[in-house]
Amino acid sequence: MAQVLVVTSGKGGVGKTTSTAALGAALARQGDKVVVIDFDVGLRNLDLVLGAERRVVFDLINVIHGVARLPQALIRDKRLDTLFLLPASQTRDKDALTEDGVAKVIEELRNTFDWIICDSPAGIERGATLAMRHADAAVIVTNPEVSSVRDSDRIIGLLDSKTAKAERGERIDKHLLVTRYHSGRASRGEMLSIDDVLEILVTPLLGIIPESEEVLRASNIGSPVTLSNPLSAPARAYFDAARRLKGETIAMNVPVENKGIFNKLFGRKAA
């Protein structure tokens, strides 16, 4: 049965798009059929992070307005044939996204995909509420930092009140994904620890993504980190998170970079 997942955070710049791409690719690599949808109308970026920016012809708004059919707008990933992208449009008209239109698109995608991952824009406006509207489950991306934690708390409140599932009296599954985590700084008391964040937000933990230069390198080359360097620490953390999404029980840890002896001696300094 198809799962509709929203990747959300409230605050911008915490890693929603990076995480959407990495989790989508991780699930697709395990053989699941995955579509990632960019809901950030006017400021689309998921296409760029996936390296598909030059292949966008039609977008979500075109499908909603009947300019294109859904299969015409879906872009198949060049590396993984089970991963698809439905891009956002670059129009400035935010009202182009209609509630009915989004509902129809998601309904149609449910027939063919195992995972429908909605990449939410930052904020709590229309785009963000429509991205979470039809979700069965949510991944709340949080940095161990006060403003991000506060905004996540706000988003959790919205997930529990404004989604279709919540309005039907059902519970939406919520998963916390802590990104840009630095174990050393947390243990020295310089950064909120995982326990601090969990105690404050009271939401089950999906994964801990360590701060890593691999994440920027991946977006530079237009590839999800789970494909660009699957053995890197952040990629392994995303693979574990993807398996937890599928219901597997995996011990929670913060992966560290495995550096060979050559890299240890001559490699770049680790962050």
Partner 1 sequence: MSVFKLFRRGSAPVARERLQILLAHERAARSQPDLLGVLREEILAVISRHVAFEPDKVQIKMDRGRSVSTLEVDIEIPNGIGLVLARAS
Q: Can you point out the beta strands (E) in 63-182?
A: 75-76, 83-86, 115-119, 137-142, 173-181
Contact between 192 and partner 1 by CB under 8 A: the answer reads yes
Contact between 198 and partner 1 by CB under 8 A: the answer reads no
The amino acid at residue 37 is: I
DSSP one-letter string for 45-59: -HHHHTT-GGG--S-
Instruction: Closer to partner 1 by CB, 146 or 221: give it.
Output: 146
The single residue among 91, 112, 183, 193 that binds partner 1, judged by CB under 8 A, is 193
Distance CA 72, CA 79 (A): 19
The single residue among 54, 188, 264, 269 that binds partner 1, judged by CB under 8 A, is 188
Q: Which residues of 96-130 are buried (b: 16+ CB within 10 A; e: fewer)?
A: bbeeebbeebbeebbeebbbbbbbbbbbbebbbbb
Provide the minimum distance between the beta carbon of 10 and partner 1 in the complex, in angstroms, as a whole number.
12
Contact between 200 and partner 1 by CB under 8 A: the answer reads yes
Q: Are 56 and 89 in contact (CB under 8 A)?
A: no
Interface positions, 149-168, toward partner 1 (CB under 8 A): 149-150, 153-154, 157
Provide the minimum distance between the beta carbon of 197 and partner 1 in the complex, in angstroms, as a whole number.
9
Interface positions, 76-115, toward partner 1 (CB under 8 A): none
Q: Are 57 and 72 in contact (CB under 8 A)?
A: yes
Contact between 194 and partner 1 by CB under 8 A: the answer reads no
Contacting residues toward partner 1, per CB under 8 A = 145-146, 149-150, 153-154, 157, 185-186, 188-193, 196, 199-200
